[in-house]
Amino acid sequence: MDKNLSALKPALVWKHFAQIARIPRPSSHEEKIRKYVMDFAKSRGLECKEDAAHNVYVRKPASKGMEDRKGVILQAHLDMVPQKNNDKKFDFTKDPIDAYIDGEWVTADGTTLGADNGIGAAAILAVLEDDTLVHGPLEALFTATEETGMDGAFGLKKGLLRGDILLNLDSETEGELYVGCAGGLDANVTFKYAAEKTPVRNYTAAKITVKGLKGGHSGIQIGCQRANANKVLFRFLNAASASHAVLLCSVDGGGLRNAIPREAEAVVMVKTKEYEAFAKELKAYEKVVKAEYAGIEDAVSVKIRECEAPAEMVAREVAEKLTKAVVGCPDGVQKMSMAMPGLVQTSSNLARVVSDGKTVKLQCLLRSSVNTEKAALGEAIAAVFSLAGAKVQLSGSYDGWNPDMDSPILKAMTASYKALYGKQPAVTAIHAGLECGIIGSKYPKMDMISFGPTICYPHSPDEKVEIASVGKFYEFMVDTLRNIPKK
């Protein structure tokens, strides 16, 4: 297993990424990576500071003869999504990412790699370090806690940024220029209950486990029609309850709000005399899921095993309403864009379902490039769970980023890409919440583009970044800086 990332090209980018990968930086635990950036900037004699929202700013003067060019802001976020396989022992707040070279890719052993957005941050640090580059006035903006709420972008103050152009380095397909993104909305659902004692006789306890799903980014991969582990689990519980008295003791499904759930499990109790039939129904259901997701989720596993009976369970009435509400909750792609074929316009991700003995809490992340559709989807989800007796809070709404096809930086970068590689870059939008939408609301005159190298399966332990695409991405960025127009 080759772990010598520093031997890859471009050397400065991979040097910084190798160091970033060793710094724990899950969302809300970014102290060490902020210190790394600040210490680096100070060692280079660059102006730097941290704001109240924990964003880090660095400024680098223009190279000689480029002082009259428009100012450019290079922007990336510092946090990463902490996802791991169940059999991987790993503490994202303490352990370094075990990154390695796998053929034409860099990936990690059993965890997310953090190329989202560590490669973007590494590219910025490489530009700040390399004094041979030709560029106008530069600002680097490293934002905080993007993955769990875009806290840094929301906390960004007006008037701090001086540049005219923002290059967001948080996209994940080389050769594509992003000029728009979806807005987002959180739906937080709570079922309260008084736990009931479980039956002491004539019932068998069992754990049902759904795993082996691909998961992925709930914006970028939502259009891949991947299975949602929470929906798979509760679909069976709902169907089985028609012929069995299924007692739900606990549930733990999904993880982060912006990751499609890969795994879910529930502890249930069924009558002992019915257990064999119940287990056979589950085995048959696994075949149904495999058939429905053939070619998409071929590794899906839906299994049952007997376990020790817990002392308490979710109140029966609450469990029944919860189950039906989860089955009825909108999930996945809701509408495709007519203006941009192939682009998801509106979607929902039922990201989390977890019980704690007193409550069952659920999280959904809604996305849309049409604000009214996003609001309507939120109302629909709230209606489903409100009818089931849950408390629903819709919060964290942010607008999308509307495309400007007449953008000067879009025209300049399109010309630059064609000159470098002999073909036009794809110009598109993304069904994910780039920080451009929020930053643009604070700096409405700023010209913005988002681009990056090719990263596959972000927000999942299968995350990997294509080595060759990192070289092209960086070369393109350097050429863009060289050709920034005059003020």
Task: Return the closest-CA partner of residue 220 out of 429, 6, 445.
Answer: 429
* Alpha-carbon Rg for the chain in angstroms: 24
- How far, in Å, CA of 333 to CA of 183, rounded? 15
Mode of pairing for the β-strands spanning 426-430 and 391-398: unpaired
H or E, element range at 17: helix 11-21
Catalytic residue chosen out of the listed positions 30, 79, 274, 286: 79
State the burial class of residue 2 (Cβ atoms within 10 Å of its Cβ: 0-12, 13-18, 19+): exposed
> Residue 97 has which token pair?
């990412």
Q: Which of 30, 116, 146, 462 is catalytic?
A: 146
Task: With beta carbons less than 8 A apart as the criterion, state whether 186 and 396 touch.
Answer: yes
Tokens of 156: 């960004």
Residue closest to 44 by CA, chosen among 136, 116, 140: 140
The answer to whether 185 and 374 are in contact (CB under 8 A) is: yes
Residue 91 bears catalytic tag: no
For Cα atoms 116, 454, 472, give the angle at the middle one, nearest 5 degrees.
115
Query: How are beta strands 391-398 and 455-456 bridged, if at all?
Result: unpaired
Write the CB contacts of 478 (distance below 8 Å, at least 6 apart in sequence): 127, 133
Q: Is residue 131 within 8 Å of 45, Cβ to Cβ?
A: no
**At 347, which helix (H) or strand (E)?**
strand 344-355
DSSP classification of residue 222: G
Number of residues written out for the chain: 487
Does 281 qualify as catalytic in the annotation?
no
Question: What are the residue numbers of the active site?
Answer: 79, 146
